[in-house]
Amino acid sequence: MKVGVPQEAAPGERRVALVPDTVSRLGEGVTVIVEPGAGVAAGFPDEAYREAGAELGDPWSADVVVKVAAPSAGEAAKLHEGQVLIAFLAPLTDADGVRRLAAAGVHGLALESIPRITRAQPMDALSSQATVAGYKSALIAADRLPRFLPMLMTAAGTIPPAKVLVLGAGVAGLQAIATARRLGAVVSGFDVRPAVREQVESLGATFLDLGVQGEETEGGYARELTPEQQAAQQAELQARIPGFDAVITTAAIPGRAAPKLVTAEAVRGMRPGSVIVDLAAETGGNCELTRPGEEIVESGVTIVGTTNLPSTMATHASQLLARNMASILGLLVSGGELVLDWDDEIVAGACVTRKGEGA
């Protein structure tokens, strides 16, 4: 069985779907074909892939193509019927992209659609990449703040610790809390899912009680708040946010625009020099003033709307993603042959297009 690893073409994307270390672990009967240069931006030169046993060449004719981002129209045209594609296919938001794959008769497995069951944890690329984004968001907050994060007692006086608020305590939010704590900040966290309070507290942070509680879906995600609940949350946050030096926002509802948590007025209430890092920028932002892909200063407050933070740590982000990919490939290979078991809930759950089912 052949696995193809193309060079990512999306602007700013530095990650690669398989790294050399993973290539050598895929087992007997699997040949990996890497597009020359595919790993360079993530720190993995062609030579490292060759040494791990991969071939360099055209990845698009392989039985399985593994990618980070969904293929562009041009890339999709290189795929053929019956081929398997594994990538972040954005099935809830990129209907055109999914239609293209369906029309080509490609078996599209979306990393976002892998069921979040215990057996699938090693395949959970949403979590692995959210871990990277959460960590980096705390570093960005620390870097942009004109203050220390930890408390310092020096001969020149005592510096109190910075106060950091993390909104949304899923995988990224919990990692942001842990990282900001390690840097010495006093951290508070909030999430609408009630189960999260304990996780926030176990990291040494305080759970900020906003008096707003949402529901959790069977898959563990938050349900969208009602307009009344959302207004109550915004008002409560507006009153609390001026007390914080940095706010990291990570709130998301799968397939929906990011919920607006921080209003323009709340930003105006913050002290000059404060920082907002908006991890939800890609889906519109949790802050009303966020400009996706930009870093701006409004009323003296820095608002970071950088998208695709995992790509800024491409080496480790790719390494974790590659392990996720290897686990998924392990499900699809039997005796060196590609075997798609549609009765397997992970394969069936991840599949967003299937040969023979048309557009």
The residue within the footprint of ligand NAD, chosen from 2, 78, 116, 197 (CB under 6 A), is: 116
Catalytic residue among 14, 49, 83, 124: 124
The residue within the footprint of ligand NAD, chosen from 254, 284, 330, 349 (CB under 6 A), is: 254
Alpha carbon distance 199, 98 (integer Å): 36
User: Contact between 253 and ligand NAD (CB under 6 A)?
Assistant: yes
Nearer to ligand NAD (CB atom), residue 56 or residue 348:
348
Instruction: Report yes or no: 273 and 299 within 8 Å, Cβ to Cβ.
Output: no
User: Contact between 101 and ligand NAD (CB under 6 A)?
Assistant: no
Residue 71 burial (CB count, 10 A) = 25
The residue within the footprint of ligand NAD, chosen from 124, 245, 278, 282 (CB under 6 A), is: 124
Q: Which helix (H) or strand (E) holds 107?
A: strand 107-110
User: Contact between 308 and ligand NAD (CB under 6 A)?
Assistant: no
The CA–CA distances, whole Å, from 25 to 2, 28, 53, 67, 97 equal 14, 9, 10, 18, 31
The answer to whether residue 124 is catalytic is yes
Residue 223 burial (CB count, 10 A) = 12
Catalytic residue among 24, 72, 121, 213: 121
**Residue matched to tokens 């030169």:** 45
Number of residues that bind ligand NAD (CB under 6 A): 29
Structure tokens at 341: 């078991």
Beta strand pairing call for 295-298 and 84-88? unpaired
User: Contact between 121 and ligand NAD (CB under 6 A)?
Assistant: yes
User: Contact between 326 and ligand NAD (CB under 6 A)?
Assistant: no
The residue within the footprint of ligand NAD, chosen from 69, 130, 276, 301 (CB under 6 A), is: 130
Structure tokens at 26: 């895929």
Residues with catalytic roles = 116, 121, 124, 127, 221
- The footprint of ligand NAD (CB under 6 A) covers 116, 121, 124, 126-127, 130, 167-173, 190-193, 220-222, 225, 233, 250-254, 259, 261
